[in-house]
C-alpha cells in the first residue's frame, strides 16, 4: 500500500502488487470506496463498485471476501452489473470447493446487482449513481453523491469511469460527470503513435494526449488518471510536457 494523497477533500490510496494487481481507494471520514479491485487490501468499512468483469478489475473479489471474514470484519458490499452476479456466486462456490470446506463468506456473498442509471443509497449521506461507459464489453462507471440538505439536494463528489474510450467525456456520458470534485479515469496509452492510437480505439482505452487536447473539459475538477502501460519513468516523461513549467513529475 502506497502513501495516500490528499486530493481536494479526499484521501486517495493506491494499492499495487508488482505494478500489476491494483486497486484505488477513496476515503472520506469513516467511509471507504474501492474501485478497480485487482488487489485485495483490508479496510474496516467499504463499499466496492466493480465496473466490469475483466480480470484486472474483478480478480481479487473472492480473496477480499475471505480476508475480511478471516479478520472478523463485516462483509463489504459488492456492486456488480446484473450479468456478473451469478458468475461471481459460482466463483465463490468453486473457491469453497478448492478450500475443502464450506466458507460462510462465500455461501451468501454480499452482492448487489446494479444496472447503468441505477441510484443506490450507501448511507444517510451518500448515494451512488451508475452510468454506462465505452469499452469493449458492457461496463459502468459511477458517481458518488453527497446529500447536502434534508430536502435531498445531492452534490456530485467523485466519479470513477473504469476502462473507457474518451468519448464519454465529449458526450458526456452523464450530466454530472464533469461536475465532480474528483474524477478517476484511465490513461492507458502514454504516447500517440499511429499503432497505439488505433489500439486505444480498438480495445476501448484512452490516450494521455486526449486529456491535454481537451483540457478545457477538466478545468474545474481534479483529474486522477490511472492504468498506464509503462514504468514510472515512462509515465513521468509522458506527463511532463503537459504540466506547468517548473512543476515536473520525478
Among 29-33, 53-57, 90-94, 101-105, the range with the most confident prediction by mean pLDDT is 90-94
Percent of the chain at pLDDT above 90? 28
| pLDDT for res 230 | 56
Is-contact 23 15, C-beta < 8 A? yes
Top-confidence residue, 88 or 123: 88
Is residue 19's pLDDT more than 60? no
pLDDT tens track for 226-243: 755 555 566 666 666 666
pLDDT tens track for 185-199: 988 887 778 888 898
| pLDDT for res 134 | 92
What value does the mean pLDDT take over residues 168-186?
92
Q: Which of 54-68, 69-83, 86-100, 114-128 has the lowest mean pLDDT?
A: 54-68
Give Rg (Cα) of the chain. Answer: 18
| pLDDT for res 21 | 57
| pLDDT for res 88 | 94
- CA 243 – CA 227 distance, rounded (Å): 19
Is residue 47's pLDDT more than 90? no
Question: Are β-strands 182-186 and 222-226 bridged in parallel, bridged antiparallel, or unpaired?
Answer: parallel
CA distances from 19 to 2, 14, 227 (A): 11, 11, 10
Q: What is the mean pLDDT of the chain?
A: 81
Top-confidence residue, 155 or 67: 155
Top-confidence residue, 120 or 191: 120
Domain spans of the chain?
5-239
The DSSP secondary structure of the chain, one letter per residue, reads -PPPEEETTEEEEEEEETTTEEEEEEEETTEEEEES-SS----SS-EEE-----HHHHTTHHHHHHHHHHTTPPPPEEEE-HHHHHHHHHHHHHHHHHHTS--HHHHS--EEE--TT-EEE-SSSEEEEEEE--SSS--EEEEEEEE-STT--EEEEEEE--S--THHHHTTSSTTTTSSSEEEEE--B-S--HHHHHHHHHHT--BHHHHHHTGGGGTTSEEEEE--SS-HHHHHHHHGGGSPTT----
For the domain bounded by 5-239, which CATH number is listed?
A: 3.60.15.10
Top-confidence residue, 102 or 84: 84
Amino acid at each position: 500500500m502506497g502513501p495516500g494523497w490528499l486530493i481536494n477533500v479526499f484521501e486517495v490510496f493506491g494499492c499495487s502488487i508488482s505494478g500489476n494487481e491494483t486497486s484505488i481507494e477513496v476515503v472520506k471520514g469513516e467511509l471507504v470506496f474501492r474501485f478497480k479491485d485487482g488487489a485485495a487490501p483490508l479496510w474496516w468499512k467499504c463499499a466496492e463498485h466493480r465496473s466490469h468483469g475483466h480480470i484486472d478489475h474483478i480478480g481479487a473479489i473472492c480473496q477480499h471476501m475471505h480476508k475480511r471474514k478471516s479478520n472478523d470484519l463485516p462483509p463489504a458490499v459488492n456492486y456488480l452489473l446484473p450479468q456478473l452476479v451469478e458468475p461471481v456466486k459460482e466463483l465463490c462456490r468453486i473457491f469453497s470447493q478448492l478450500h475443502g470446506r464450506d466458507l460462510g463468506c462465500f455461501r451468501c456473498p454480499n452482492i448487489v446487482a446494479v444496472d447503468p442509471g441505477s441510484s443506490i443509497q450507501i448511507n444517510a449521506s451518500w448515494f451512488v449513481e451508475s452510468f454506462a461507459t465505452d469499452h469493449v464489453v458492457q461496463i459502468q462507471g459511477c458517481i458518488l453523491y453527497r446529500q447536502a440538505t434534508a430536502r435531498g439536494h445531492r452534490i456530485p463528489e467523485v466519479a470513477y469511469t473504469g476502462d473507457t474510450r474518451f468519448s464519454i467525456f465529449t458526450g458526456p456520458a452523464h450530466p454530472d460527470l464533469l461536475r465532480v470534485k474528483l474524477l478517476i479515469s484511465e490513461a492507458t496509452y502514454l504516447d500517440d503513435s499511429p499503432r497505439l492510437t488505433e489500439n486505444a480505439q480498438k480495445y476501448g482505452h484512452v490516450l494521455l494526449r486526449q486529456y491535454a487536447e481537451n483540457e478545457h473539459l477538466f478545468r474545474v475538477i481534479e483529474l486522477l488518471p490511472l492504468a498506464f502501460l509503462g514504468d514510472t519513468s515512462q509515465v513521468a516523461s509522458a506527463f511532463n510536457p503537459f504540466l506547468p513549467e517548473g512543476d515536473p513529475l520525478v
